[in-house]
């Protein structure tokens, strides 16, 4: 790219002939006028070429920077989606833990109810045993005494 710009500038600076541009007069005849050309010293043309090359490289760097920025944005988007998925997983695990805790609480309530029922049944059994023992004892006493 540098070589092409240098060659073009050298050709432009060396060409001293005027350019002929066709124009038409009021009768429609073609007339040629010579335009002025600008002659640049070699040092100035060299500085201009260097600036053009620098500008081209700056544009290329800008394009690369834009590409890198889009890739970085895509990377950030992917990382954000991964983080969001992990947050959802954490929420699901927390829900599972809450559900398990609720299950254990319900089982604890059932166990308490069963203990109460068990105590009532034991008291009824004891009352029944005592009553039956008294009845059997009374009948035995009546049987023996008669």
pLDDT tens digit sequence for 43-82: 888 888 888 888 888 888 999 999 999 999 999 999 999 9
Indicate the number of domains in the chain.
1
Please give the residue range of the domain that contains residue 67. 2-145
CA distance 10 to 16: 12
Cβ contacts of 107 within 8 Å, gap of 6 or more: none
Specify whether the CB–CB gap between 53 and 5 falls below 8 A: yes
Q: What is the pTM of this model?
A: 0.45
pLDDT, tens only, 9-32? 666 555 544 455 566 666 777 666
């Amino acid at each position: 790219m540098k070589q092409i710009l240098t060659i073009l500038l050298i050709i432009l600076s060396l060409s001293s002939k005027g350019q002929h541009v066709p124009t038409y007069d009021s009768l429609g005849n073609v007339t040629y006028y010579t335009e002025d050309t600008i002659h640049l010293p070699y040092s100035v043309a060299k500085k201009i070429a260097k600036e053009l090359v620098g500008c081209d490289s700056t544009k290329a760097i800008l394009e690369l920077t834009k590409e890198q920025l889009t890739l970085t944005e895509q990377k950030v988007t992917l990382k954000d989606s991964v983080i969001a998925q992990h947050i959802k997983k954490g929420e699901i695990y927390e829900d599972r833990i809450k559900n398990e805790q609720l299950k254990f609480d319900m089982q604890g309530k059932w166990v308490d109810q069963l203990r109460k029922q068990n105590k009532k049944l034991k008291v009824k059994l004891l009352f029944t045993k005592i009553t039956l023992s008294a009845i059997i004892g009374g009948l035995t006493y009546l049987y023996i005494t008669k």
